[in-house]
Amino acid sequence: MPALASLYAPRTRGITGSVIDASTSLLGNQTHDVVRLAMGSPAVEAIPSATFGALLGELEADHGAFDYGPTEGDRALRGALLDFLAGNGTAAGEDELLITSGGMQGLDLVCKLFVGRGDLVAVESPTYTNGTATISGYEGEMVEVPGDADGMDVGALERLASERGAPKLIYTIPTFQNPAGTTLSLERRERLIELAAAWGSVVLEDDPYSLLRFEGEELPSLRELGAGRARVIGVHTFSKILAPGLRVGWVLAEPELIHRMVDARQSMDTCTAPPMQRLVARFLADGFAEEHLARLRVDYHDRKVAMQQALADELGDLGASWTDPHGGFFLWLTLPEHVDTDVLFAAALREGVAFIPGRAFSIGGRFGNALRLAFSAEPPGRAREGIARLRRAIEITTDHQE
């Protein structure tokens, strides 16, 4: 038999695995106590599983819940979601909404429709590399745009475009970015939209976290700012505000594009699992969401503050620095140059704490001395223990490296 590799279609060369997703299996195989600061998971206590259980029980009488559903999404969920979004300041028309199987499917559909071999795509650095893996899977050519505390450096994007040409697609996570936790300032949002409008670029606004703001002022989404000027597609998910295992997300885009996405999906997964859609529809329509979100915002704020305090206490003397997110799940820790966080990862896991090393968030393998910490999943006391273990691991690895 010929080797499998000789049979794969040439375009599969761009398909890469995900270090982030691989951590789920790796951590699942650990038998000792590990403080989980790696995955972008909600707190276990933040998942309203008792309410879900009760609502799922009620689906027994709802036979349509187990049939095929419409590709654009279950009618009940579409209605409940549009009302929920309107209540949270996002106006969207019935024909601008597609229900998806999580945020990842939204990213995949956008890339499937817009990215072809050699198309230039601007991505943030660091960025969510499951997003860039999707782009490379469709053979896009990426350029990394650096960021700082105010999100993507839009001036640097402009300079890159003058060297390389205007990007066809701009992939950004402007609000409580994964992994950095930073937020694109209003001024930069305005400029990004101006540039996208001038270049005719499509902006892919990946936004799983904006409903989890616990500090600072609300900012308009890129989609809102771009209305009538630039083409912005919003990709969203219930993974962070309800539960990732539901695999329910949504896309907001212009009606013509929603139609094409429906077509593209019909050769993919037909529809998002209808029982999960009905479950989310009931959760929203029965009015559970607002109180739930209000509690999450308080809890995640407490967790962020506790983690920053632990970092100051445990790593303050090392010359480490970290970001100050105003919402979401993550902060980004930069250690002194000589610390290699890939090496640190193994020692940290042995000590009983997990994070994701910085290189996993850059297509060019940058950020070897940085790492992502999720403050979402573990309660403050556990996070403090995790940071103390991290300190021990830094000492062990730097002793060996010196």
Ligand X SMILES: Cc1ncc(COP(=O)(O)O)c(C=O)c1O
Closest CA to 111 of 170, 25, 42: 170
Closest distance to ligand X from the beta carbon of 39 (Å): 8
- Does residue number 274 form part of the binding site for ligand X (CB under 6 A)? no
- Does residue number 375 form part of the binding site for ligand X (CB under 6 A)? no
Kindly provide the b/e burial profile for residues 355-368, where b requires at least 16 CB atoms within 10 angstroms of the residue's own CB: bbbbbbbbbeeebb
Cα–Cα distance, 258 to 272 (Å, whole number): 15
Residue with tokens 């600072």: 216
- Does residue number 237 form part of the binding site for ligand X (CB under 6 A)? yes
Residue among 23, 136, 172, 239 that touches ligand X (CB under 6 A): 239
Cα–Cα distance, 115 to 97 (Å, whole number): 21
**Which amino acid is residue 36, in one-letter code?**
R
In the complex with ligand X, which residue's Cβ is closer, 174 or 386?
Answer: 174
In the complex with ligand X, which residue's Cβ is closer, 250 or 345?
Answer: 250
- Whether residue 145 contacts residue 172, with contact meaning beta carbons closer than 8 Å, is answered with no
Q: What is the DSSP annotation of 32-56?
A: S--EE-SS----GGGS-HHHHHHHH
In the complex with ligand X, which residue's Cβ is closer, 107 or 320?
Answer: 107
Cα–Cα distance, 136 to 127 (Å, whole number): 14
Residue among 135, 157, 166, 173 that touches ligand X (CB under 6 A): 173
Closest distance to ligand X from the beta carbon of 396 (Å): 30
- DSSP 8-state class, residue 8: S
Residue among 147, 244, 358, 386 that touches ligand X (CB under 6 A): 244
Residue among 55, 104, 242, 377 that touches ligand X (CB under 6 A): 104
- Does residue number 234 form part of the binding site for ligand X (CB under 6 A)? no
> End-to-end distance of the chain based on CA atoms, in angstroms?
50
Residue among 147, 151, 167, 208 that touches ligand X (CB under 6 A): 208
In the complex with ligand X, which residue's Cβ is closer, 166 or 252?
Answer: 252
- Does residue number 361 form part of the binding site for ligand X (CB under 6 A)? no
- Does residue number 137 form part of the binding site for ligand X (CB under 6 A)? no
Q: Which residues lie near ligand X (CB under 6 A)? A: 40, 102-104, 128, 131, 173, 178, 206, 208, 237, 239, 244, 249
